[in-house]
Amino acid sequence: MVSLTRWMIGLAALVLLNGCEQQDAPPLDQQLYVWQRQWTEAHVTALSDSRTDFSTLRVLALQAFPQAGWSRARIDPMLLKRDGRPLIAVIRLDGQLSSLNQDEATTQIQQVISDWQAQGLSLAGVEIDHDAGNARLSAYREFLVHLRAILPASLPLSITALPAWLDSPELPGLLSTVDISVLQVHAVSDPRRGLFDPDQARHWVKAWSRITSKPFYLALPAYGVALLSSASGAPIVESEVSIERVGKRRELMADPQHLSQLGAQLRADPPAHLAGLIWFRLPLANDRRAWSLTTLRAVARGDELRSHLAFKVSADQGLYDIGIHNEGNLDSAWPERLTLAVRGCEGADALAGYALQQSPDLLTFTRLREGRIAAGGQRAIGWARCANIDQGASNVHP
């Protein structure tokens, strides 16, 4: 009887221990896409400031387009060498290509790998980004089989994958040819419906985890786009590269709150085989359509998100420069209206993006167009020459 009791106690302890082990799931790996075609000095700070929170860099290396042909991204190899993080070269094969020339594509990929290695870069993998339609997945699988046979066996091969492939019977065979898949859940639908739907993303992730038996990552958005109208009615998408076109732009931005909630859910109940998250894209200081790195890091860490706009007023002999400062970790829209309690003003004016209404004791700045203030950033609103500005009686209205 005593031995049976001891056995039951031991069994209960084992169950409790296993339960703790299941709860203490390893944190999701966080990686970054570096997608700029032309590298600048801004990459120095962006890479340095991102090292703590993002383990791996997936860097755009080579692109193929239907008319333009092949082109390489102009990376900074010395900067990548100093960075030291694992490096995956991404090959973008446009989905509108009429067909994939296996030999030509393989030659181009081998050459870029060889050139990167000659510059002292050690690759941790190659990723193929090809938006193939379901009808072409069989041909795409044949290309991947051919490429896998050519690449060194020690070099992992991954692919960017689309949720639409879930409907194809070719998908299991396609996934069997690569080591890792990266499921992209942003910018996969009509852009007029938005960049990202968190509920749809959760559905796709669960479905993908049931089909694949290999590790997969989730590619998530940390950026925005603008939609321009066209004669055909289909929107023209403007992203990190400006389009020389006159017309009204409808700005769309992935919501950090939605992505933060999704991250929390995935950490609490990770789907089978999910290895981590890859954020598109590394934000540069001058990238007006990307989250700030401060916001991206906060979302990746699972920090509570908040923006707090405060006046930033500096005076020099009665001349006041008026601005706002975002003291939170969440990027914020420009406030719709700002009111400043003033006395004895001789003159005042608003800067671009705002209009000014002035009365003897109040300056009111009203937003004329939309814009964002990065977390930790600031923006000038206007100026005033006054005897006094009472910041305590002034307000920022969302």
Beta bridge partners of 69: 65
pLDDT at 17 over 80: no
Q: Fill in the amino acid letter for 199.
A: D
Q: How confident is the model at residue 233 (pLDDT cuts 50, 70, 90)?
A: low
Counting residues of the chain whose pLDDT is more than 70, the rounded percentage is: 89
Contact 380, 351 (CB under 8 A): yes
- Span 118-152, pLDDT tens digits: 999 999 999 999 999 999 999 999 999 999 999 99
Give 163's DSSP letter.
Answer: G
Read off the pLDDT of residues 180-229 as tens digits, 9 standing for 90 and up. 999 999 988 877 778 899 999 999 999 999 999 999 999 999 999 888 77
Question: Which two three-digit tokens encode residue 335?
Answer: 């406030």
- Tens-place pLDDT, residues 298-318: 999 999 999 999 999 999 999
Half-sphere exposure of 348 (CA within 13 A, CB side): 29
Same domain assignment for residues 111 and 158: yes
10 pLDDT above the threshold of 60: no
285 with 335, same domain?
no
Over residues 31-46, the mean pLDDT reads: 97
Domain boundary among 254, 278, 301: 301
At 127, give phi and psi (nearest 5°): -120, 135
Residues 283, 328 within the same domain: no
Q: Which domain holds residue 342?
A: 309-397
Q: Are residues 67 and 170 in the same domain?
A: yes
Q: Are residues 316 and 297 in the same domain?
A: no
Contact, 367 vs 336, CB < 8 A?
Answer: yes
pLDDT given for residue 240 in this prediction: 66
- Give the pLDDT of residue 7: 42
Q: How confident is the model at residue 14 (pLDDT cuts 50, 70, 90)?
A: very low
* Residues 239-276 pLDDT 10s: 666 666 666 777 889 999 999 999 999 999 999 999 99
Give yes or no: residues 314 and 295 share one domain: no
pLDDT band at 232 (very low <50, low <70, confident <90, very high): low
Examine the domain organization and report whether 362 and 234 are in the same domain.
Answer: no
pLDDT value for 234: 67
For 239, the token pair is 């992203």
Strand 378-397 with 249-253, pairing: unpaired
The whole-chain average pLDDT of the chain stands at 91
Q: Report if residue 261 sits inside a domain.
A: yes
pLDDT at 11 over 50: no
Question: Taking Cα atoms as reference points, which of 113, 122, 118 lies closest to residue 85?
Answer: 122
C-alpha dihedral (133, 137, 142, 146), degrees to nearest 10: 60
Q: What is the pLDDT of residue 284?
A: 96
Has residue 172 got a pLDDT over 80? yes
pLDDT, position 12: 43
58 and 158: one domain?
yes
d(CA 34, CA 283): 8
E-strand spans in 138-223? 157-161, 180-184, 216-221
Indicate the angle between helix axes 293-301 and 256-268, nearest 10 degrees.
30
Residues 84 and 221 in one domain: yes
| pLDDT reported for residue 226 | 83
The fraction of the chain above a pLDDT of 90, given in percent, is 81
Residues 122 and 254 in one domain: yes
The reply to whether 319 and 240 lie within a common domain is no
Model confidence over 325-366: pLDDT tens digits? 999 999 999 999 999 999 999 999 999 999 999 999 999 999
Report whether pLDDT(38) > 80. yes
Domain-embedded: residue 9: no
Say what the pLDDT of residue 98 is: 83
70 inside domain: yes
Last residue of a domain, one of 255, 276, 301: 301
Residue 254 near residue 224, CB atoms below 8 Å:
yes
- From 249, 281, 301, the end of a domain falls on 301
Total structural domains within the chain: 2
**How many residues would you count in the chain?**
398
CATH number at residue 386: 2.60.40
Distances (CA, A) of 116 to 75, 122, 124: 10, 8, 12
Over range 227-240, report the average pLDDT. Answer: 70
